[in-house]
Amino acid sequence: MKFISLLLVSLGFLIACGEAVPHLEEIRERGELRVLTRYGPTTYYVKGEELAGFEYELAKRFAEHLNVKLKIIVPDNLGDMLNLIEQGKADIAAAGLTITPDRQDIIRFGPVYQQVTQQLVYRLGTKKPKNLTALGDGQLEVVAVSSHVEQLKSLREEIPSLTWTENTEIDSSGLLELVQLELIDFTIADSNEVAANQIKFAELRVAFNISDPQPLAWAMPFAEDGTLASEMDKFFDQLDESGDLSRLKEKYYGHIRHFDYLDTRAIERRILTRLPKYQTLFEQAGEKFNIDWRLLAAMSYQESHWDPNAVSPTGVRGLMMLTQNTAKLMNVADREDPAQSIAGGAAYLASMIKRLPERIVEPDRTWLALASYNVGLGHVEDARKLTQGDGGDPDLWPDVKARLPLLSKRKWYEKTRYGYARGGEPVHYVQNIRRYYDILLRHEEASIEFNADENKEPKILPSAL
């Protein structure tokens, strides 16, 4: 694994540095790209033992494009971030920043890479407002100096009674949590952040949009001489032409577009009531077959909702819903025995991973293996061939996912070796498992933070790598 250097510094240190505005050659001579970002599910976070996030991965790729190291800097708040980039204290700000007229007066933006919509968010169980004039005495709180403030100011020209509070201490994810906890009534967040946070805060609801789609882009100091901006344009052009930008969006957003409140609440309850009975078995199987135990647990929840006595109409049964043939192949004598079922399911998934072509890399390798677990490797191979024939990349899950449903259409399955399959099912299967996996990860992170607070120990942040 290629490690990326990470720097967490205070605002005072950055201001004390007083570095000159960097140009492309200066960055290359320095050997590092200094990037401002923020913690959050749409930007930068720790996933298991790795660093992740849509903005983080984009920045990492850009640093590799420049052949330099990546240095991540997390300011205390959005206002500090905008001030730092305006003053040239970093090379770029990659934090899901909306391009607005006010911001364009003080900073320079790169190419647009995503569109989001500002949404008014409330909590399930409270009255849904029909429009901004119906907020009544409810408390609306938004991030200070955000694009949401600019939008509210423009809307107040038509709604003079519109009022809100600006928070300088926490970001949008923090305000969404306050809505979840019923500490405030409403907040405004970008559509991608709402979707990402609903996995963790299941009671959040969108009342309505308060803006048209708006563009997101990286920011640079105005004094940048144009060489960095020009290289950034080339980088995003290449990402767009190769399809990598679309694939990266699918990686982080493809499995969270359709939020299911009841399903999310159900798994959260069962994480507390059912999972503890089997967690050790998942951990043991994960260690034996080199698979994240939380992925195995997510699979099992998709298969049986962690019910060892589950039986389908087709006769598959147990925690991992094994068929008789699969059980026999994996030496499982009793499919309803939790230990045997989990070990057999893990072994079968490991065999799917191993049988895929070696050139397929993660995470596509795992998603394709999961689809094979569900519908059979032969049908997945048929879909991969259809993908290649259609001009897609058969080694990328997003490309294969788009063609799997074709296996249920005569025009397409007649051309395949293994014939008809309900190809839409493995697509939903993988999407659900990815969502359950994210919920399990976040539940574990929340437990670690809770225990740290209980013990009055400082929160552990990612160390320099």
Positions marked active-site? 303
Question: Is 261 strand, coil or helix?
Answer: helix
| Distance linking the first and last C-alpha atoms of the chain | 11
Q: List the Cα angle 18/4/237 in 5-degree steps.
A: 85
41 dihedral zone (left: phi>0; alpha: psi -120 to 50; beta): alpha
Helix axes 377-389, 364-375, angle to 10 degrees: 120
Token pair in block for residue 395: 């080694």
User: Helical H runs in 34-126?
Assistant: 54-66, 78-86, 101-104
415: enclosing H helix or E strand: none
Strand, helix or coil for residue 169: coil
- Please say whether the beta carbons of 465 and 6 come within 8 A: yes
User: CA-based angle 32:37:43, to the nearest 5?
Assistant: 115
Q: Quick check: 73 and 7 in contact, CB under 8 A? A: yes
Element spanning 143, H or E:
strand 140-143
- The phi and psi torsions of 452 (rounded to 5 degrees) equal -65, -40
393-416: burial string, b at 16+ Cβ within 10 Å, e else = bbbbbbbbbbbbbbbeeeebbeeb
In this structure, the strands spanning 214-221 and 107-109 are: antiparallel
The answer to whether 54 touches 182, Cβ cutoff 8 Å, is no
- Tokens 């959040």, residue located: 204
Q: DSSP secondary structure string, 420-434?
A: ---THHHHHHHHHHH
List the Cα angle 458/170/211 in 5-degree steps: 150
Q: Which residue has the tokens 């963790």?
A: 200
Contact between 435 and 255 (Cβ < 8 Å): yes
